[in-house]
Amino acid sequence: MGIFKPTDFTIGIIGGGQLAKMTGVEARKLGLNVVVLDPSSDAPASMVSNHIVAKVDDPEGLKKLNQLSDVITYEIEHIDTQNLKTYLDTDKVFPSIQTLEIIQDKYRQRKFFKSKGIPVPNFWEVDDVSEIANFIPCVQKAKVGGYDGRGVVIIKSKEDLNKVINTPSYIEEYVDVQQELGIIVARDKNKNIKVYPVSQMVFNPDGNLLDYLKVPADIDEDTYKEAQNIAISAIEALDGVGVFGVELFLDSKGRILLNEVAPRTHNSGHYTIEACETSQFEQLVRILSGLPMGSTYQYIPAITLNLLGEPGYRGKPIYENLDKVMEIDGVYVHIYGKKNTFPLRKMGHITILDFNKERLLQKMTKVKTLLKVKGDIKDDSHNNG
């Protein structure tokens, strides 16, 4: 019989945002210790963890995190990996730093998955942004630093060329997307794999970030299985250990193409907290602490709705009609605890459950109409983040 001493085990997390917070909640349920490294003294994860206040790639902060932690993970990709290699015991970082380096550079990621036979959109490197005109229609993507829609420019005509970003980038074919799909894949140190249901993502047209998703996706069984198999193949190709968010395109020709992989828990898997036997966050904790992975079975159809800061407001967040929304059966509100809001900032999410899919959509419409995140300062600028 195995012996488990949770109070002697500490999970370190680089980054202290909402993903670290939700991971920390699950770790605490098992009596595990959690420590996060984040520059903000009131970061969301500080509610459920010990907190080292320093930048995520700060040498002294990393040394302290390494000293306190038995295992280390991260909730963000944009970290100086050279500092991770210098100041951390790399054999206790999951997913590995090598995996992170492949994923950090989207062009390198594209080349890697293509070399492994994973279906991806056609893509080309450009030495000068003036070359992009030769590939219209296409999508320009920054090689590094893009996040939540930033660093992605859709170019459908010559008029769109004024949107081009002057940064190291590559271009890929413009895919006529029928549906955008998301799948959470978990893989442990023994190469065991668990795959979650396929979700269907709908994006906010203003910020090009996730507005809501429904799961399971409205696709046929063959397409469903193919999407899961491609997602599994991608994580196996990386030899990944941890929880991964895999985004795919289903295009008008019926092709399923890998869009990108996130080496962490993911917005597209938040529904798993209420709708599945084992949430993505509990799954990550199990993997990091060497416990068996749990079932990914989904009990009930679900929608996840992102709670975004309203345009025209910033400052201390005010949640309008929260009481009315929480009166609705099958609605679960997650407020991340960020101290300031601004337009389109992720302030939380809502999971909506119902066995009747029509009623599920009706509930979502009602929640979207009611619940608004405003700030105590009126501001007509439209920054996002």
What pLDDT sits at residue 266?
96
User: Architecture of domain 177-378 in CATH?
Assistant: 2-Layer Sandwich (3.30)
DSSP string for 144-160? SS-BTTBTEEEE-SGGG
What pLDDT sits at residue 151?
84
What pLDDT sits at residue 207?
54
- For residues 319 and 337, the answer to whether their CB atoms sit within 8 Å is no
User: Architecture of domain 122-173 in CATH?
Assistant: 2-Layer Sandwich (3.30)
245 pLDDT exceeds 50? Answer: yes
What pLDDT sits at residue 382?
53
Report the run of H or E that residue 249 belongs to, with start and end.
strand 242-251
State the chain's mean pLDDT as an integer. 93
281 pLDDT exceeds 90? Answer: yes
What pLDDT sits at residue 209?
63
**Claim: this prediction has a pTM higher than 0.85:** yes
What pLDDT sits at residue 166?
86
Structure tokens at 6: 């949770």
What pLDDT sits at residue 322?
97
- For residues 22 and 49, the answer to whether their CB atoms sit within 8 Å is no
- For residues 244 and 95, the answer to whether their CB atoms sit within 8 Å is yes
For the chain, domain boundaries: 6-93, 122-173, 177-378
Side-chain-side CA neighbours of 218 within 13 Å: the count stands at 9
What pLDDT sits at residue 353?
98
Bridge partner list, 262: 245
- Is CATH 3.40.50.20 the classification given to domain 6-93? yes
What pLDDT sits at residue 211?
74
What pLDDT sits at residue 385?
45
DSSP 197: P
What pLDDT sits at residue 61?
98
Same fold, 122-173 and 177-378: no
pLDDT > 90 in the chain, percent: 84
264 pLDDT exceeds 80? Answer: yes
| Model confidence pLDDT, tens digit, residues 4-56 | 788 899 999 999 999 999 999 999 999 999 999 999 999 999 999 999 999 99
| Band of pLDDT at residue 212, cut at 50, 70 and 90 | confident
| Model confidence pLDDT, tens digit, residues 173-200 | 999 999 999 999 999 999 999 999 999 9
Residue in 255, 234, 254, 256 with CA at minimum distance from that of residue 245: 234
Least confident of 56-60, 97-101, 139-143, 285-289: 139-143
167 pLDDT exceeds 90? Answer: no
**If you compute the radius of gyration of the chain from its CA atoms, what whole number of angstroms results?**
21
What pLDDT sits at residue 384?
45
